[in-house]
Amino acid sequence: MSDLAGRFRELWDELAPVGRAGSGGYLRYAFTEPELWLRDWFREQAARRGMPVAEDGNGNLFAWWGDPDAGDAVLTGSHFDSVPHGGAYDGPLGIVSAFLAVDELRAAGIAPVRPVAVAAFVEEEGARFGVPCLGSRLLTGEIAVDRAAELRDAAGVSFAEALGDRPAGADPALLGRFAAFVELHVEQGRALVDRAAPVAVASAIWPHGRWRFDFHGEANHAGTTRMADRRDPMLTYAFTVLAANKEARLRDAHATVGRVSVEPNATNAIPARVTGWLDARAAEPETLHGLVEAVRAKAAERARRDGTELACTQESATPLVAFDGGLADRLAALLDAPVLPTGAGHDAGVLAAHLPTAMLFVRNPSGVSHSPAESATDADCAAGVVALARVLEELACR
């Protein structure tokens, strides 16, 4: 094992037990105990490196190498939070790699000419409060403070309560300090395995969003209600899931219903209400729009047949992100890395509308993400750190 791979493993092992469930996956939701532990760990890592930490009033942390007031800073970093039973790498890899990249540069006697900041963005997955990239959306003003403050988790706790204050919202002065953002992230599919490369540069993020489908019917007895008399929202829901799958396949797009809630959720009762959350993504916005409209129309038609009622609400939207082409080409040439698009959302996608932004992906041999099976070898993680260090050197140290 190379020295760097060893150092990566040492630091990585500090995080490994934090928020790990019996499934082997992680439960690291924003402002819950494991995530608070990770935030403290971030502060401690920054302190060890003499990097002052500032919070932006939205829950995002920034550790500075160099003078924060100097301007033209290069921002890197990612997020700590996970989806339910998520993988170890999605998020934390970008933060750990950022600290190690700073170490690499320092060990080589390289100092920043422009400051470098390492960020930990809050609630990237939207797993607790429902809106992904909440921290970066607040920082950039892409979500209204009132709406963000009132987002609630399953227990009814609001984001403002979890944060301990009303979020500060857009901070143009802070954003204005950054000349570029580069987020390193584990690859979330098989693209790099198939290309035999440890690191890639991102070209684009597919447009995507979340839609909540509420199906209302009539709760009734499972044993005594004749089949013909039922108004069963589970049927409409089930049909809608199949329709989403079919419509996505027709368009080479992606549709997922990964979350469902049923009331009253009893084996021997026809449900009164079923809510399913549709996550839909496509390469082009028109395709995404067509997909969601087709699913909506089919669900509405089926609701008429089932005697149920449907309400559909869009809960989040992320437009097509084309990363800065000049920056992507420059980094791909610097690293001799392939360039690829992704269907996954990232804080980099939100920040890309505000400053030149790029992403580096580190190979994931399992090709699986948002699952405990997500993986990366220590050697590839070390290659990711080297790549990020070279990028920071190129952007901040020349």
CB of 346 to Mn ion, least distance (A): 5
Per-residue binding letters, 332-351, with Mn ion (x by CB under 5 A) = ------------xxx-----
CB of 344 to ligand GLV, least distance (A): 4
DSSP classification of residue 148: H
| 94 is a site residue for Mn ion (CB under 5 A) | no
Decide if residue 90 touches Mn ion (CB under 5 A): yes
* Burial classification of residue 229, based on how many CB atoms lie within 10 Å of its CB (0-12 exposed, 13-18 middle, 19 or more buried): exposed
**Pairing mode, strands 208-216 and 273-281:** antiparallel
Q: With respect to ligand GLV, which residue has the nearer C-beta, 198 or 345? A: 345
Is the Cα dihedral 344, 345, 347, 353 positive or negative? positive
What are the tokens at 175? 């954003």
Task: Candidates 45-53, 84-92, 162-170, 349-357: pick the segment binding Mn ion (CB under 5 A).
Answer: 84-92
Q: How many helices (H) and strands (E) does the chain have?
A: 13, 15
| Residue with the CB atom nearest ligand GLV in the bound state | 345
265 annotated binding-site participant: no
Give the amino acid at 106. Answer: R
- Token pair for residue 105? 């540069």
Closest to ligand GLV by CB, 200 or 344 = 344
156: its two tokens: 């009814």
Identify which of residues 162 and 344 has a Cβ nearer to ligand GLV in the complex.
344
Q: Where are the beta strands (DSSP E) in 122-177?
A: none
Smallest separation, CB 207 to ligand GLV (Å): 12
Quick count: other Cβ atoms within 10 Å of Cβ 79? 30
Sign of torsion over alpha carbons 377, 382, 384, 385: positive
The angle that helices 378-396 and 325-335 make with each other, rounded to 10 degrees, is: 120
Tell me which H or E stretch contains 82. none
Residue in 55, 62, 132 with CA at minimum distance from that of residue 90: 132
Phi-psi region of 291 (alpha: psi -120 to 50; beta: other; left: phi over 0): alpha
Which partner, Mn ion, ligand GLV, none, binds residue 94 by CB below 5 to 8 Å per kind? none
- Regarding 125 and contact with ligand GLV (CB under 6 A), the answer is yes
Residue 123 near ligand GLV by CB under 6 A: no
**Shortest gap between Cβ of 83 and Mn ion (angstroms)?**
6
The answer to the question of residue 132 lying near ligand GLV (CB under 6 A) is yes
- CB of 371: closest distance to ligand GLV in angstroms? 12
Asked if 91 is part of the footprint of Mn ion (rule: CB under 5 A), the reply reads yes
Q: Is 185 annotated as a binding residue?
A: yes
Residue 281 marked ligand-binding: yes
Site for ligand GLV in 194-223 (CB under 6 A): none
Q: Which residue's CB is nearer to ligand GLV, number 80 or number 239?
A: 80
The reply, when asked if residue 152 is annotated as ligand binding, is: no
Q: Which residue in 328, 344, 351, 362 binds ligand GLV (CB under 6 A)?
A: 344
Q: Is 252 labeled as ligand-binding?
A: no
Instruction: Count Cα neighbours of 17 within 13 Å in the Cβ-side half-sphere.
Output: 2
Select from Mn ion, ligand GLV, none the partner in contact with residue 91, using the beta carbon and a kind-dependent cut-off of 5 to 8 Å.
Mn ion
* Amino acid at the residue 218: E
Give the interface size with ligand GLV as a residue count (CB under 6 A): 4
Q: Which residues lie below 8 Å from residue 62, measured CB to CB, with a gap of 6+?
A: 53, 54, 55, 56, 68, 75, 77, 117, 118, 119, 174
C-alpha dihedral, 304 to 308 to 312 to 315, nearest 10° = -160
Q: Which listed option, Mn ion, ligand GLV, none, makes contact with residue 59 (CB within 5 to 8 Å by class)?
A: none
Q: Is 345 in the site for ligand GLV (CB under 6 A)?
A: yes
Q: Does 380 bind Mn ion (CB under 5 A)?
A: no
Contact 65, 106 (CB under 8 A): no
The reply to whether 347 sits near ligand GLV by the rule CB under 6 A is: no
Q: Does 66 bind ligand GLV (CB under 6 A)?
A: no
Residues near Mn ion (CB under 5 A) are 90-91, 344-346
Residues near ligand GLV (CB under 6 A) are 125, 132, 344-345
